[in-house]
Amino acid sequence: MTLSPKGTGHLTAGPVTNSRISGVGGYRPRRVVPNSEIVDRIDSSDEWIRERSGIIERRFAGEGESVIDMSVFAATPALEMAGVAPEDLDAVIVATVSWPYQTPAAAPMLAERLGTKGAAFDISAACAGYCHGISLASDMVRTGTARNVLVVGVERLSDFTSLDDRGTAFIFADGAGAAVVSQSDTVGIGPTVWGSDGAQWEAISQTESWIDVHEKNLGWPHIGMAGQTVFRWAVWGMAPVAQQALDAAGITADQLDAFIPHQANVRIIDAMAKKLALPPDLPIARDIAYTGNTSAASIPLAMERMVRHGEIPSGGLALQIGFGAGLSYAAQVVVIP
Ligand code: COA
């Protein structure tokens, strides 16, 4: 990048290239947890959970299976698909709310495990974290800050879920999804539409701050949720955001090849699809049935499954939208790798 002559107040170099997702990967822990394992402690039933959330089973990480381990398992196939060697990654972004260290971030350890010394940092935007990461990575690549960026959404939410909490015990789960964002000749990632509503900060939150946990000797904190508040916000608030992402990309719903929303609850997914008037035959991610709600991991996990099963075409257009604690959200249209 060269600077313009002194005093003119601008740079001569602008965006250098376009960006695209060049590879995706996913990791689902091996331990399958059916609804029957959850229901007794919350006085629920398999039928109720299926009907209210669409979840049939979820995965919990095994003993000692860390956020970093799961991230490596998701990143490795994503890098292979992208044809990018770890040393060619200029940055690693990890979106997570369940890495158990306040500092340092998970990303530097992941970068080390993969074999890159590139920039490495975490972002905390809960279920919207992956789409925030894709937005950052895309801008980094477009401006020449990085050639290839690894974005990982990963959660070990079983550590932060109370199995006695009727509102959350059946929802949250563990897993990792990854995408590589690379340089591209054509536009592969549309503009991101994002925002937050901090007035609803408490609608999904850790039940106690770390200070309270320490000072009041409260034991391990977990994530609490005002289910109906979140449900209403997602159903009424997120379809317009998804529509804005389509508008920003300059396309209409009938040009989509896939709709890949955050896997929060199948009723939210269905309501959004209806409000967006999506074509009836459009493939819609419903990975939640067998994976549960894996927060930051849910969108790349769902995309990885659809790509692997040949349900969506490479080169097609996918609308993805993440939303959750904050309350935060981010949406963009991407070209399917
Ligand atoms: N099992 C069985 N019954 C349950 C239950 C459970 N786990 N939780 C609540 N109920 C019962 C209640 O006791 C109540 O019974 P009543 O009508 O006899 O009084 C009834 O179900 C409705 O309770 P409510 O708390 O209003 O549940 P709901 O219909 O709002 O469903 C959620 C609960 C969590 C499924 C729903 O609010 C939801 O999907 N919210 C969005 C959650 C989400 O997607 N979060 C992720 C965002 S990132």
Beta bridge partners of 94: 122, 152
Residue 100 domain flag:
yes
10-residue averages of pLDDT along the chain (337 residues): 65 80 97 97 96 97 96 98 98 97 97 97 98 98 96 97 96 98 96 97 94 91 95 96 97 97 97 96 97 98 97 97 98 98
Q: Which of 228, 266, 270 to mutate to test the pocket of ligand 1 (most atoms within 8 A of CB)?
A: 228
Residue 270 contacts by C-beta under 8 Å, 6 or more apart in sequence?
Answer: none
Is 48 a pocket residue for ligand 1 (Cβ < 6 Å)?
Answer: yes
Between the CA of 286 and the centroid of ligand 1 the distance, in Å, is 20
Between the CA of 155 and the centroid of ligand 1 the distance, in Å, is 23
Residue 139 domain flag:
yes
Is 260 a pocket residue for ligand 1 (Cβ < 6 Å)?
Answer: no
Distance CA(149)–CA(138), nearest Å, equals 8
Q: 29 and 176 share a domain?
A: yes
Residue 4 domain flag:
no
**Residue nearest ligand 1's atom 33 by CA:** 227
Q: 153 and 288 share a domain?
A: no
Atom of ligand 1 nearest to the CA of 323: 48
Say what the pTM is. Answer: 0.95
Distance CA(300)–CA(70), nearest Å, equals 13
DSSP 33: E
Is 123 a pocket residue for ligand 1 (Cβ < 6 Å)?
Answer: no
Q: What is the pLDDT of residue 4?
A: 57
Residue 254 domain flag:
yes
Is 127 a pocket residue for ligand 1 (Cβ < 6 Å)?
Answer: yes
Nearest Cα neighbor of 66 from 118, 29, 103, 104 is 29
Atom of ligand 1 nearest to the CA of 126: 48
Between the CA of 84 and the centroid of ligand 1 the distance, in Å, is 44
Residue 5 domain flag:
no
Q: What is the pLDDT of residue 88?
A: 97
Atom of ligand 1 nearest to the CA of 325: 48
Q: 39 and 148 share a domain?
A: yes
Between the CA of 176 and the centroid of ligand 1 the distance, in Å, is 26
What count of other Cβ atoms lies within 10 Å of the Cβ of residue 184? 18
Is 227 a pocket residue for ligand 1 (Cβ < 6 Å)?
Answer: yes
Q: 328 and 212 share a domain?
A: yes
Q: 142 and 172 share a domain?
A: yes
Cite the active site residues: 127, 262, 293
Q: What is the pLDDT of residue 5?
A: 60
Q: What is the pLDDT of residue 103?
A: 96
- Here the CATH number for the domain that contains residue 125 is 3.40.47.10
Between the CA of 240 and the centroid of ligand 1 the distance, in Å, is 25
**Residue nearest ligand 1's atom 38 by CA:** 227
Q: 105 and 61 share a domain?
A: yes
DSSP strand E in 2-45: where?
A: 18-27, 31-34
**61: domain range?**
18-184
Q: 231 and 277 share a domain?
A: yes
- Number of folded domains that form the chain: 2
Residue 226 domain flag:
yes
